[in-house]
A = this chain, B = another copy of it.
Amino acid sequence: METNRELRGNAPIGVFDSGVGGLTVVREIMRQIPNERIVYFGDTARVPYGSKSQETVIRYSEQIVRFLRTFQVKTIVVACNTASAYALDTLEQDIDIPIIGVVRPGAKAALDVTRNGRIGVIATEATIGSQIYTEYISKLNTNVTIYGKACPLFVPLVEEGLLEDPVTDEIARRYLAELIDIDIDTLILGCTHYPLIRSTLGKIVGDRVTLVNPAYETALELKSMLQSLHLLNDDPPGLGANQYRFFVSDKAEKFVRFANSIIKYGILSAKAVNIEEY
C-alpha cells in the first residue's frame, strides 16, 4: 500500500468501534499524542458486532470507513476487536491511507512480555471463537501457548458502571480461575471495555501476571507509524478548534454519558448519523 501523497499531518485520525468500547483507544491516543485531531464513530445502532457474520462486519466497516473519509482523515484505527479480526485485511486492500487494528499491537506486546510462553486472552465470545489472537501470535512465535477465555458478563457489567464492585470481583474471580490454574504469566485484555476494569483484573491475577492493554499498544504503534510517515501533527490545535468529534449511529445521549465517564475531557457532544447511507 502506497501512502496517498495528499495526506497532511494536521488532518484528523479516524477511529471506529461497534459502540463505546473504542473510547478506551481514543483515551490512549489523547494521552500519547495530545496534538492529534480525532474523528470517532461508534456504531451504537448495530452493536454488538460479535454475533454477526464476517460478511456483515466487513460491510459495516466499509460503510464507516467511507463516512470517516469524508473528514479527509490521514489514517484509520479499527478500535474494535471483532472488526479487526474480521475486516482489517479487506479494508487494508481497499484504501490508500494507513489503517491499523487493535489485535496485532496487543499480540506483539504479549509476545514481548511473556517469559514462560503461557499467554491468556480474555475477550467476548466472538473474539475468542474467531481464534484471531491465537492465529496471529502463533504466526509470530510457535513456542508460546495461548489460552482463550470468553467473559460475556464483563461488557454489561462495565456498561452498568460496576467498575469497582464486589459483583464484578466475584465474576472476574470465576472467569480467571482456570487461567490462573494454567499458570499464565501474561493476560491480553482482548476487548476494548476491559481496560476499564483493569484494577479489578490485576488484583485477581496478582503481580506475577502482566496485563497487556491493546488500546495502549495500539496508540503506541499509531504514534510510531505517524512518526515514520512524517504525519504527526506539529501544530497544536487552537482553542475552539474542534479537536475531537464524535459520531454515533443511534442514541447519542447515552453515548455521551458513557463517554464522559471514560474520557476526562469535560463536556462532550456526539452527533447521530445514518450510517447506512455511506
Which A residues are within 8 Å of any B CB, using their own CB?
44-45, 47, 51-53, 56, 152-153, 155-157, 159-160, 166-167, 170-171, 250-251
Contacts and interface: CB of A to CB of B under 8 A. Distances in A.
A153 B47 CA distance: 16
22 contacts: A44-B51, A45-B51, A45-B52, A45-B53, A45-B56, A47-B51, A51-B250, A51-B251, A52-B250, A53-B250, A152-B156, A152-B159, A152-B160, A153-B156, A153-B157, A153-B160, A155-B156, A156-B156, A166-B170, A167-B167, A167-B170, A167-B171
A26 to B, nearest CB: 21
Nearest to A44: B51
A170 B171 CA distance: 12
Contacts of A153: 156-157, 160
A125 to B, nearest CB: 8
A129 B251 CA distance: 12
A201 B192 CA distance: 32
A177 to B, nearest CB: 14
Could you tell me the dominant secondary structure of chain A's interface residues? loop
Given A45-B56, A47-B51, 11 more contacts: A45-B52, A45-B53, A51-B251, A52-B250, A53-B250, A152-B156, A153-B157, A153-B160, A155-B156, A167-B167, A167-B171
A45 B50 CA distance: 10
Contacts of A251: 51
A53 B252 CA distance: 13
Contacts of A166: 170
Nearest to A126: B251
Contacts of A155: 156
A267 to B, nearest CB: 23
Nearest to A174: B167
A51 B208 CA distance: 40
A178 to B, nearest CB: 16
A251 B155 CA distance: 20
A156 B156 CA distance: 7
A273 B49 CA distance: 19
Which 5 pairs of residues, A with B, have the shortest CB-CB distance? A156-B156, A153-B156, A153-B160, A167-B167, A167-B170
A45 B44 CA distance: 16
Nearest to A171: B167
A251 B45 CA distance: 21
Contacts of A250: 51-53
